[in-house]
Chains A and B, each alone.
Chain A
């Protein structure tokens, strides 16, 4: 996959949809594209975080440690992103991300992330939208869980 194909791919990612192509190209050029084999972890709950990942292909499980072992709480698919909490709030990773199948990601460093958000407020809105969705999703699960109990 060369740079131009990668840029085409990024254009399809919702959070980058409003970013102009030239900047996407810079993002693609300066960010590391990382491949993970099945079962490899992107990061582990409790690690210090210094980057977020955009899934370019493949799927990954979001796992949370519980006393009874890790449980999968969500699945990440193509165009999803993960790891933004640790770099936004400077807290350790809140979940473990494990590749469910061979996975290609774009690793965006903390510096680059802030630079992009500062330059493209639209990106911040997309991220907020995604975070809100996730919060709503969690709330729903919580309601379901309390009802069941």
Chain B
């Protein structure tokens, strides 16, 4: 990248800059015309000077005054014009003035729009180039830079450049042109006044930039401190667990306060310096009218100039200070953005960037690797100091398996990192067949070699997107756009090209299913399920699926299939072994395993309106209770519950956890309720004060007959509640219709989970292992109907959160391994990737991975030597050197480091 901002801008926006320049030139002509009009209006239109000697005057003639030295006459006549009297003259000239204002405005608007677009385009280009450079940074550079600082630079620090780019060439031309026009006009009126004005301008030009120098230096400091502050904030977020655990918040506060203090000082100083410069700028620009008034007035009085000319000079001068001031501003901004630009791009050219051609995908199908993997004389050192690998020579066939064992500091993990290009050899070569490993393009490497290290990064996307991430090397099918959106997309694409951005469409289908060995989406799903099974993650994802939801409108076939599963499950639930475990949802029956509120609503709430916990407070629910006469019944139930709670919980300390878990009334509330009951003295609901009634009525809402067993809901009460349930559904106003999805045996419920849809009922309280047994039954039913993968597909939509943090560490790592397996690499490098698991899990996963990679190459860097047992070919490393190679028997016979490692476990 060029270090000079101007050459960068010129190189990428030359044609646009030229178009704008032409526009500016035309604008100047219009501007000049508009300047000469007021003088004509005052002198001839109003004072009538030109009409004293003749009755009519020619208007609309276009004459361009020519300097005398050209010797072509005084002016060049473009258009002859019309002859008019004084009054029409004034009208014509005034309208001309109005017209010139409009034309000038139009020019300004067009020029500004063009400038804005060009600036934004350049900004887009610059940001893309910076981002593209991040993709090419050498791996070790990421250990030095802070992410937040990179983000601040690409995002915020180049932002002012966008504004400036549009003005880079045009502004000085435009303003310079304006200033020159104004000066020229003044000169034409009076050369003496002109010289005075020029002299005063020269003083301004000389002094102001000098005053602004310290402002620039401070601006540079401000940029650096702001960037570091952004890095500091990110650090706090990353290290928040440590900060809290060590109780060092005050230390952090002190540091941040100190930084903010320094930023304040810099910014305040900036203000001071800025306003000093501004003061002088203002003073000097006001000194010029002083000179015009004094000298111009003298000339007018002495008759050397007419009054109209002095007014014209003043009018021209009125337009002079602002372009001059803006020119000075422009110059200031130029230096400012140049500094900003340099400071940013200096951070984006570290040593050892990846060559761009290594990141471009060669056309045609992704080539297969062939031949053996051979390392010869490979040495790696840490910043040129400590040797991590020392002259390693090692080869193994691409389709074979090799385990590498070694102690801490043996360099085995560095050996693995070489294949992910996380380390680069200082000397020596790695070849795969005839190809130099260092020249393999990244997309080819990514498709043919999988690497799993100790930590896996997951993107904040769905499980599915993470799993298929390694298949996205290029678009395999274009996105399909509706007719009306196609043109828009085409414009978008062309604009990308104009800004030097790639025109690849992220909405296209990037998933190269061939790489996973799948021809259809069903097969791809099957491959995903297999990969997840290999890492023992399939069941978790299936469970996510059962807890997930689908939109039946978008996937009617699946909704229909799940309804079939519901029917099949309910068929099975008739068997004596399962019958007592579930109480199904039936519109005409009260469900004793649902709370009163759930029975009343008899559906899944959508949104906040009918949330079960707040149903008692819902106005519509209250109106139904009133109209069905249930209020009193519920009040009586509430009273009964209150009595029982007071009886049961009165003796307990208020911090007893039983309150939290079981009581309908909180520990704080209990004394008041007891008082209320005492005052009633058994007189029943009618004696309850009106203020206490709503609370009593709300108590039974959470009551579940089967669980709480207070015997409050008899057959008659069930009937009344069922009547209320019917009234609730029938009277539901249209605007609340979307707030609840009623239970309907024949309809899929989009608001409820897959499991609830299949179950369509509630587990019965107090049945041993009911949940596990029903879970197994659901699994059986889904298997019979071939729906297990469909449930997994729903589970795959689970979003793993930032950095995969919604999954536990073990599952993150498993998903990372599955991601490496699904692309069926020719070489799988497992670099101590199982270290986080217990040793039995490690062994199981190892066997699964090896089974999944049968016939493919596996380089297994074992985190414990014992792990290498099933491998026929083992390499032993010690202190960065290869110290043994062969079968277990051969190595054991030789003893040495191998024997130590194996006996040490």
Contact = CB atoms under 8 A, between A and B. Distances in A.
B is a partner of A: yes
Given A35-B580, A35-B768, A42-B768, A25 B647 contact: yes
A22 B648 CA distance: 6
B577 interface: yes
B703 to A, nearest CB: 12
B708 interface: yes
Contacts of B651: 22-23
B481 interface: no
A2 B767 CA distance: 16
A90 to B, nearest CB: 20
A36 B273 CA distance: 85
A22 B647 contact: yes
B648 A4 contact: no
Interface in B757-789: 765-769
Contact of B710 (A2, A26, A42): A2
B766 A40 contact: no
A33 B661 contact: no
Contacts of B661: 30
Nearest to B712: A2
A130 interface: no
A3 B710 contact: yes
Nearest to A26: B648
Contacts of B765: 32-33
A30 B660 CA distance: 11
Given A25-B647, A36-B768, A6 B662 contact: no
Contacts of B649: 26
Nearest to B658: A30
A34 interface: yes
Interface in A38-93: 40, 42
A1 B709 contact: yes
Nearest to A106: B766
B350 to A, nearest CB: 55
Contacts, number: 49
B73 interface: no
B543 to A, nearest CB: 23
B768 A34 contact: yes
B711 interface: yes
Interface string A114-127: 00000000000000
Contact of B766 (A25, A30, A34, A42): A34
A29 B711 CA distance: 12
B677 to A, nearest CB: 15
A32 B709 contact: no
Contacts of A12: none
Contacts of A33: 709, 765-766
Contacts of A6: 709
B323 to A, nearest CB: 83
A25 B711 CA distance: 14
Interface in B691-721: 708-711
A37 B575 CA distance: 13
A22 B710 CA distance: 14
A4 B711 contact: yes
A3 B580 contact: no
Interface string A1-27: 111101000000000000000110110
B276 to A, nearest CB: 74
Nearest to A30: B662
B767 A3 contact: no
Contacts of B657: 111
Contacts of B662: 29-30
A27 to B, nearest CB: 10
B711 A2 contact: yes
Contact of B577 (A1, A2, A34, A37): A37
Contacts of A22: 647-648, 651
Contacts of A4: 711
Nearest to A42: B768
Interface in B707-741: 708-711
Contacts of A42: 768
Contacts of A23: 651
B711 A3 contact: yes
A23 B580 CA distance: 30
A35 B766 contact: yes
Nearest to B576: A37
Interface string A100-113: 00000000000100
Contacts of B708: 3, 29
Most B C-beta atoms less than 10 A away, residue of A3, A28, A29, A34: A29
A26 B662 CA distance: 10
Contacts of B711: 2-4
Interface string B651-675: 1100001100110000000000000
A3 B707 CA distance: 10
Contact of B709 (A2, A34, A35, A111): A2
B648 A32 contact: no
Contacts of A3: 644, 708-711
Contacts of A32: 765-766
A40 B769 contact: yes
B713 to A, nearest CB: 10
Contact of B648 (A2, A25, A36): A25
A35 B770 CA distance: 10
Nearest to A105: B768
Given A2-B710, A2-B711, A29-B662, A40 B768 contact: yes
A142 to B, nearest CB: 33
Contacts of A30: 658, 661-662
A28 B648 CA distance: 10
Contacts of B658: 26, 30
Nearest to B645: A29
A111 B662 CA distance: 14
B533 to A, nearest CB: 27
A16 B137 CA distance: 74
A96 to B, nearest CB: 14
B708 to A, nearest CB: 7
A148 to B, nearest CB: 37
Interface string B106-144: 000000000000000000000000000000000000000
Contact of A35 (B647, B648, B767): B767
A37 B773 CA distance: 12
A80 B765 CA distance: 23
Nearest to A1: B709
Sort A-B residue pairs by CB-CB distance and give the 7 closest, nearest first: A2-B711, A36-B768, A33-B766, A3-B709, A26-B648, A2-B709, A30-B662
17 contacts: A1-B709, A2-B711, A3-B710, A3-B711, A4-B711, A22-B648, A25-B648, A26-B652, A28-B709, A33-B765, A35-B580, A35-B767, A35-B768, A36-B768, A37-B577, A40-B769, A42-B768
Given A35-B766, A111-B657, 14 more contacts: A2-B709, A3-B710, A3-B711, A22-B647, A22-B648, A22-B651, A25-B647, A25-B648, A26-B658, A28-B709, A29-B708, A34-B766, A34-B767, A36-B768
Interface of A: 1-4, 6, 22-23, 25-26, 28-30, 32-37, 40, 42, 111
